[in-house]
Amino acid sequence: MTGAAPLLRDVFGFDAFRPGQQEIVEAVTAGENVLAIMPTGGGKSLCFQLPALMREGVTVVISPLIALMRDQVRSLQEAGVAAGALTSGNTPEETDAVWEALDAGTLKLLYMAPERLAAGSAMGMLRRVGVSMIAVDEAHCVSQWGHDFRPDYLRIGELRRTLDVPLAAFTATADAETRLEIVQKLFDGTPPRAFLGGFDRPNIHLAFAAKNSPRSQILNFAAARKGQSGIVYCGTRAKTEGLARALSEAGQSALHYHGGMDAEDRRIAERRFQQEDGLIVVATVAFGMGIDKPDIRWVAHADLPKSIESYYQEIGRAGRDGAPAETLTLYGPEDIRLRRTQIDEGLAPPERRMADHARLNALLGLAEALECRRKTLLGYFDETEITCGRCDLCDSPAEVFDGTTAVRKALSAMLRTEEWFGAGHLIDILLGNETDKVKQRGHQSLPTYGVGGEYNRNEWQAVFRQMMGHDLIRPDAERHGALRMTDAALPILRGEANITLRRDSIKAAQSNRRPAVKAMVSDEDAPLLSALKAKRRALAEAAKVPAYIIFTDRTLIEMAENRPANLDAMAQVGGVGAKKLESYGFAFLEVINSEVEVMHPQRRKLAGRDAGSVYDQLLEAQAELARGALGTEKPLSCSASQLAKVAQMPNADDTALTRLLGDRRAERFGAAFLDVLRSAG
């Protein structure tokens, strides 16, 4: 490309492009709309910075993090490029310098946060300064259901239309669904020139381990790498603080980082991490996007990430300089339960929750892989040409065994209980535990009752977890997490195929001593409780009241355990008064039963009372006599209001019925109605 090689060498200091870069640079420089999916550390920034120098006018770069913008502007300025940023973090002098360069027509790259587009003056200013191209970094932030969603990214499409200039979007993490969303939101549905680079980061070593004293596992991993910069990701803010303290006490240089910290403290932590060697940051996922430190030597996960995409993005922060880097991801059954709950309690629509469960399943498959992890990870991104030698399973192959019999027993227990239960209840059946739930449902008489004595509860959990990882079973969102068999399991169940499981996972379960936690409900009812809480939260947010105003946790627990089938049963749940039954009863019944029988408002008022049952019997009696005793007369019926009044009559007789119903209706229905009232009394 004319002019590119000298700029590449003189400005950026590279003798050659990395794989895939040159084609993208050519397309962007030529003014094509571009979507480029490139691995972290693959050199995305160069693909819009170099074309910006080769094109007339200003290139506007939309980037989500001030720290990242400042780093890139500083690097460009150090390289002699006229670049600037308009951010809330600027000094007055920095802002003045940007405006002067814009007015003089010398600025080549202008970095902005997406939130600045909300200001009415921004569009006018950008029209005035001669913008010739828009570059969007971290383009997956436009996905409304991604964990990095930034609402103001939705304004970028309007900016492109207003300025009528080409747009180049870049990201390292975008599955097919997110790519479609980017095309729709940023390019108005017209497909841009797409570049899908390889996802492999061959310098990163991949490793997973079942949790077994997780704090010690992390401390030992860090101790073996003392003096190297690393990140430890945790699932909660409290854990970041506790683990950072433990690392410091063990002689490491460590600090914590999470979204609940003061903004200035977060900035200090970011600055220290960028500047200091050998510092460990223990953080939630609030830390990382845009972190451009090239020499992060390791990334550990103290808890299982949210999805396989999150995992890929988070480990991708290691080894951006191309030198060897290492990862360790810890996981246990409590992680899986937490991640499922987060998905089920979210406010996303059902199809999105199902997709999120599938992404989590893919990560579990990676955690329980039998062979090369890189093959499993990159297979998820549809890559097949894979060489590894840089993962724990290539270093030391997994100890495996023929798990066909165990899997068939588990599948049989699922099928004999009509796929209505989760692992907890199924394991009770396999172990022969005569729990209240087993006895209530008569499951102690099943042929599979007590056939799984070769393993204990933790070991069976490891079997079920591996079955999920192999996609033989999936939680059914419509059945609140009950396990259902997939087509992939059929050959095993029929004896037409065998399956290999990891014995090391089973052994790890034997020594898995985690403190007993008093669960709010049984494993069986936990998914339904999560769904009920999600409904409560949605209603509370709509009404702008605290969640407990709708129903308390205790009420939701009783709903989850008793699973009322109709309004009458719902009215018997503690904490469900008449007003709440009327206001929220159907909404929560829909969560419990998926479909709710439509009930007349007059009948609804009687829900949970004896009169409700009487009303139903009166309705049946009326239906039988609608055309008279012989079925030959003109149809006749009472109104719902009349039936409700009859149902609540304390001392009914012929006279009272005639007064209420009138002569014709009393003559046809009176005797039958009195029979109903007497039998009910």
333 and 216 both lie in a single domain:
yes
The share of the chain scoring above pLDDT 90, in percent, equals 32
Measure the CA–CA gap between 605 and 600, rounded to whole angstroms.
9
Which of helix, strand or coil describes residue 343?
A: helix
Q: What is the pLDDT of residue 372?
A: 92
115 and 162 both lie in a single domain:
yes
- Last residue in a domain, options 376, 395, 414: 395
Residues spanned by the domain of 624:
610-680
What is the tens place of the pLDDT at every residue in 375-400? 999 888 878 778 888 999 999 898 88
Lowest mean pLDDT of 95-99, 124-128, 429-433, 577-581, name the range: 577-581
- Last residue in a domain, options 571, 598, 625: 598
Cβ–Cβ under 8 Å, residues 111 and 138: no
- Opening angle at CA 173, ends 169 and 179, nearest 5: 55
pLDDT-derived band of residue 328, with 50, 70 and 90 as boundaries?
Answer: very high
**52 assigned to some structural domain:** yes
Question: Is residue 592 pLDDT above 60, yes or no?
Answer: yes
Query: Got the DSSP string for 562-621?
Result: H---SHHHHTTSTT--HHHHHHHHHHHHHHHHSS-----HHHHTTTTSHHHHHHHHHHHH
**262 assigned to some structural domain:** yes
What is the tens place of the pLDDT at every residue in 618-651? 887 887 888 888 878 887 888 888 998 998 887 7
CATH number at residue 150: 3.40.50.300
**82 assigned to some structural domain:** yes
Cβ–Cβ under 8 Å, residues 361 and 474: yes
176 and 210 both lie in a single domain:
no
254 and 141 both lie in a single domain:
no
Lowest mean pLDDT of 421-435, 446-460, 461-475, 520-534, name the range: 520-534
405 and 327 both lie in a single domain:
no
Q: What is the pLDDT of residue 624?
A: 80
Q: What is the pLDDT of residue 517?
A: 31
Question: Is residue 608 pLDDT above 70, yes or no?
Answer: no
335 and 352 both lie in a single domain:
yes
Both tokens of 588, joined, read 């929560």
217 and 183 both lie in a single domain:
no
Q: Which residue has the tokens 């008093």?
A: 518
- Last residue in a domain, options 132, 167, 196: 196
The total of structural domains in the chain comes to 5
Q: What is the mean pLDDT of residues 254-270?
A: 89
Which of helix, strand or coil describes residue 125?
A: helix
500 and 556 both lie in a single domain:
no
pLDDT-derived band of residue 3, with 50, 70 and 90 as boundaries?
Answer: confident
What is the tens place of the pLDDT at every residue in 475-522? 776 677 788 898 989 999 999 999 999 886 665 544 433 333 334 567
Cβ–Cβ under 8 Å, residues 665 and 645: no
**353 assigned to some structural domain:** yes
Question: Is residue 171 pLDDT above 60, yes or no?
Answer: yes
Measure the CA–CA gap between 406 and 443, rounded to whole angstroms.
19
**227: alpha, beta or left? (left if phi > 0; alpha if psi -120 to 50):** left
Whole-angstrom CA distances from 11 to 6, 47, 78, 107, 111 are 8, 13, 10, 16, 19
**280 assigned to some structural domain:** yes
Which stretch, 36-40, 312-316, 318-322, 612-616, has highest mean pLDDT?
312-316
Question: Is residue 448 pLDDT above 90, yes or no?
Answer: yes
436 and 337 both lie in a single domain:
no
144 or 296: which leads in pLDDT: 296
**58 assigned to some structural domain:** yes
Q: What is the pLDDT of residue 629?
A: 80
User: How far out from the chain centre does Cα 537 lie?
Assistant: 17
- Average pLDDT, whole number, for the chain? 85
**123 assigned to some structural domain:** yes
What is the tens place of the pLDDT at every residue in 198-252? 788 888 999 999 888 899 999 999 999 987 889 999 988 999 999 999 999 999 9
185 and 218 both lie in a single domain:
no
CATH number at residue 551: 1.10.150.80
262 and 322 both lie in a single domain:
yes
State the DSSP H helix or E strand holding residue 554, giving kind and residue range, or none if neither.
helix 553-562
**298 assigned to some structural domain:** yes
pTM for the whole structure: 0.63
267 and 345 both lie in a single domain:
yes
